[in-house]
Structure formats: structure tokens, C-alpha cells
Amino acid sequence: MAGTLPGEIGNLNLNWLSVYENSLSGTIPFKIFNVSTMEHLDLGNNHFSGKLPSDMGFWLPKLKEICLNGNKLSGIIPSSISNASRLTFIAMTRNSFTGSIPNTLGSLRLLRQLELQKNSLTKEFSTSELRFFFSLTNCRQLKILSITLNPLNGVLPVSFGNLSSTLQVFDAFQCKIKGNIPNVIGNLSSLNYIDLQSNQLTGPIPKTIERLQNLQRLYLQNNRLQGCIPGDLCRLRKLGDLFVSNNMLYGPIPSCLGELKSLRFLYLDSNNLTSMIPSNLWSLEDLVGLNLSSNFLEGHLPLDIGNLKVITGLDLPWNHLSGTIPNTIGGAQSLVFLSLAHNQMQGPVPQSLGNLISLESLDLSSNNLFGVIPKSLESLRYLQYFNVSFNRLQGEIPSGGHFVNFTAKSFSYNDALCGVPRL
């Protein structure tokens, strides 16, 4: 359905209006915000533009849910929205709203879900703190708070820890949030999802995070966090996703992480981690993704690597790993991406790599591998990327399977490889 929304619709005694996911454009008729019987208003995923009326909340005493997602609305979010005191759900994502998040939202005592992601909302000019958090502490039923992709450019205040004890989701990805993660985060005992990735956070990962016993997913990557990875994380027995990539963390990987049988994704790459990879990490049989690349890790890969039956991505490049590639690696038959590049691996390329039937990318470049390239790799039907350059390999390059597509770049700088003329 295209066209505009007729203003006459505001003359009806509606309690439910939904024109979700059409091609309506133009401004939203102000009369719609005067329908005192309205309980549910959904104008999401259209092409509405313009500003919201400054008095939009005054005449909606029964409104419980409002969705304006995916439009082209601009201007500020009117503070009068708080006069619609029965609101439980506000969604205004993917618009062009500016200004600060209204402090009056704290008057909405029934609010359960607030979604404002992907706008141009900022903090108040008078302070470095994100003061709207103080207001939201009055919303004791709040379960979901999503402010992702707004240039808030402020600091999480201590009042952040006074948010509702029922809060389950806190989503603040790429908001230019600065400063430390407050220790009071440990007060939010119902949290199961935290996304603070791609901000400007500094300081350590708070040890108080151990109190978040319901936490399942923690995303802190692409910040400036420092210090060690706290062993306190190991007390989060439900933790499935742990992403702290691209920070300034140092020290060893806590061995107790190998006791978190709930882990599915462990991404610690692009830090300054040292020591050996804890041996019990290889016993996490439900691990789907492991990325420890671009650190200073040492040691050998154990035979237990074949126990990772469901892992699809194993990224260990740019470390100081040595020893041979265990032949048992062929047991990790769900692998799609495997990289051991830029280490100090020695010995032959295992024949068992041909058992990795789902493999799409294999990078063993820049090591000290010797011997031949196994012809068993010709059976890898999905192999799209292959690189064994900068090793000490010899003998004939396989010519079957996807090897017909690989260029000389995949095999360059080895001792004595030979193959078809194009190589």
C-alpha cells in the first residue's frame, strides 16, 4: 500500500491502528495522536517523514504500545510522550531523531521495552554523563533497553546500576560511550544480554560482573579495555558468547574458561594475551567458534583438538604457536574456517585435513611446515580459499578438486613445489 495516511483516520474511535510494512509516505497526521481510545499504534517500516507533534502524549491516555520503526522521522522525541502513562512499549528505531533522550521517560512506570537504536540521539550538553539513565531508574518493569547506533558521546553514570532488577537486555553498540564500565553493573541481576561493543570504553572488565548469574551473551569487543581477563567470568555458568576482541587486555587466558560448558563462541583475538592456551579449552565439545588470533600465545596444539565436533571456525593466526598440527584435527568435521597462519608450526600437513568435509577456508601460511601437500585435500568440495605460502613444502601440488582454481599466490615461497604450468 502506497500513498499517504489520511488525516480523517484521526476522527475514528480506534483502539488499534497498524499499517506496518507498507510504502506510506508524507507526514503522520497529527490527528492520530488525538485519538483518546488508542491503545496500539504501529506505523513501522514505511516512509513517513517530518517531526512528531510536541504534545503527542497529552491526548493518548490509553496508549500501551507505539512503534515508529524504520521511517524517516526527524526532530526531537517529544518529552510529552511521558503523559501517555500506560505505555509499556516504545520503538522508534531506524529514524533520524536528534537531541537527547527525554528525561521524562522515567514517568512511564509501566514501561517494559524501550528501543531507540539507529538514530542521531546525543547526551545533554551540560554534562558528560548520560543522565537519562537516572530517569529510567524509575521504570521498575523495564526489561529491554536498546540505544545502539546513537552518537551519545557520554559516560555511563553510577545510576546505571540502579536500573530495573528485571532488565534482561542492554544493547548499546557503537554509541561513543566513554570511561569505565561501572562496577555497579553487577547490580543488574537479571541481565542475560549485554552489548557494549565498538565504543570508547577504558579500564578493566569489572569483577562485579560475576554477579550476573543469568548472563548468556557478553559483547565488549572493539573498545580500549585494559587489564587481565578476570577469572570472575568463569562463575557465569550460563555464558554462551564471550567477545572481548580488539582491546588492550593482557596476561594469560584464565584456565577456568575451559570449565564453562555453556560456551559456544569465545573471541579473545587482537589483544596482548600471553602464555599457553589452556588445555581444557579443547574439551569444550559444544564450542562453535574460537578466535585467539593476533596475541602472543605459545605452546603446542594438543591431540584433544579433534574433540571439537561442532566447531565451525578456528582462528589461531599471528601467535607464537609451535609443534606439529595434530592428525586428530580431522575429527573436527564441522570446521568451515581454519587458520594457523603466521605461527611457528612444524612438521607435515596432516592427511586428515581431507576429512574436514565442510571446509571452505584453510590458511597454513607463514609457518615452518615441510613435506608434501596431501592429495586428500582434493576431496574438499567446498574449499574456496587455500594458502600454504611461506613454508618449506616440496613435491607436486594437487591438481584435482578446487585446486584447479587456486593461483600461484597460494603456494609461493616454499622449498620445491611443482605443478601445472600456470603455477
What does the pLDDT read at residue 126?
74
| Percentage of the chain modeled with pLDDT above 90 | 93
pLDDT at 178 over 70: yes
| Mean pLDDT computed over 301-311 | 95
Amino acid at the residue 52 = L
- Domain 1-84's class? alpha beta
pLDDT band, very low/low/confident/very high, at 423 (cuts 50, 70, 90): low
| Mean pLDDT computed over 318-344 | 97
pLDDT at 110 over 90: yes
- Cell (9 digits) for 375: 592429495
pLDDT at 80 over 70: yes
User: pLDDT digits over 255-273, tens only?
Assistant: 999 999 999 999 999 999 9
| Mean pLDDT computed over 108-121 | 98
| Mean pLDDT computed over 370-375 | 96
Between residues 416 and 89, which one has the greater pLDDT?
89
Sheet holding 178-179, edge to edge: 178-179, 200-203, 224-227, 248-251, 272-273
pLDDT band, very low/low/confident/very high, at 173 (cuts 50, 70, 90): very high
What does the pLDDT read at residue 102?
95
What does the pLDDT read at residue 125?
78
Taking domain 274-423, whether its CATH number is 3.40.50.261 is answered by no
Amino acid at the residue 182 = P
Q: Break the chain into its structural domains and give their ranges.
A: 1-84, 274-423
What does the pLDDT read at residue 296?
98
**DSSP characters over 116-163:** --SS--B--TT-SB-THHHHHTT-TT--EEE--S-----B--GGGGGS
Domains 1-84 and 274-423 share a fold: yes
Nearest to 312 by CA among 329, 283, 341, 290: 290
Residues 6+ apart with CB under 8 A from 2: 22, 23, 24, 25
| Mean pLDDT computed over 89-96 | 98
Distance of CA 273 to the CA centre of its chain: 21
Nearest to 70 by CA among 89, 92, 97, 45: 45
- Cell (9 digits) for 402: 578446487
Across the chain, what does the average pLDDT equal?
Answer: 95
What does the pLDDT read at residue 127?
79
Nearest to 180 by CA among 224, 214, 222: 224
pLDDT at 194 over 70: yes
The mean-pLDDT minimum among 250-254, 257-261, 418-422 falls in 418-422
φ and ψ of 210, to 5 deg: -65, -20
Q: Are 149 and 174 in contact (CB under 8 A)?
A: yes
What does the pLDDT read at residue 392?
97
What does the pLDDT read at residue 182?
96
What does the pLDDT read at residue 8?
86
